[in-house]
Amino acid sequence: MPVVRLKDLRDMSSENRTKKRDELRTELVRLKTMIGAGGTIENPARVKTLRKAIAKIMTVEHEQTHGTRETETKEKETKKTETRKAEAKKTEMKKTEKKKKEAKTATEGTETKKLHTGKRKEK
C-alpha cells in the first residue's frame, strides 16, 4: 500500500476515510496476529507505518468535525516565526556586545603594552 498523505486525506470524503481506516486496521490486526503467533512478517516496519497512517486519518477526521486545523496552525506558525526572529535578534545582540568587549580589552592591552615597552629608566 502506498504512503497516506495528509493532502489526499483532506480531499477524501469522510466515508472514504473511514473505509481506508478500516482497511488499515484490519491489515494491522493481521500483522499483529502473525507476529503474536511467532511468525515472521515480510516488512516489520509496516506495523509502524500502518499505525501512523491510522493516526493521520483519525486526526483529519477530528479536524473536520471540530474545524480546528486552519486557525490553530496559522496562529502557531506566526508565533513560531515571531519567537525565532526575537531569539535571533537577541543572539545577534549578544554576539556584537561580546565582540565590542573583546575589541575594547584588546585595545586596552596594547595601550598598556606600549606604555611599558618604552625607554628604560636610567640610573
Cell of 91: 543572539
Tell me the pLDDT tens digit for each residue of 72-82: 667 778 888 88
Rounded percentage of the chain residues whose pLDDT exceeds 70:
80
- Averaged pLDDT for residues 1-8: 79
- Mind giving me the DSSP string for 27-52? HHHHHHHHHHTT---S-THHHHHHHH
- What are the start-end ranges of the E strands in the chain? none
| Chain position carrying cell 484490519 | 26
Tell me which of 3.40.640.10, 1.10.287.310, 1.10.8.10, 3.40.50.300 is the CATH number of domain 1-67: 1.10.287.310
Tell me the pLDDT tens digit for each residue of 43-65: 999 999 999 999 999 999 998 88
Read off the pLDDT band of 36 (50, 70, 90).
very high
Tell me the pLDDT tens digit for each residue of 5-18: 888 998 989 999 99
Read off the pLDDT band of 117 (50, 70, 90).
low
> What is the rounded CA–CA span in Å between residue 87 and residue 23?
46
For the chain, the domains span 1-67
- Averaged pLDDT for residues 100-104: 80
Average model confidence (pLDDT) across the chain: 83
What backbone torsions phi and psi does residue 120 show, to the nearest 5 degrees? Answer: -80, 155
pLDDT at 89: 87
> What is the rounded CA–CA span in Å between residue 68 and residue 60?
10
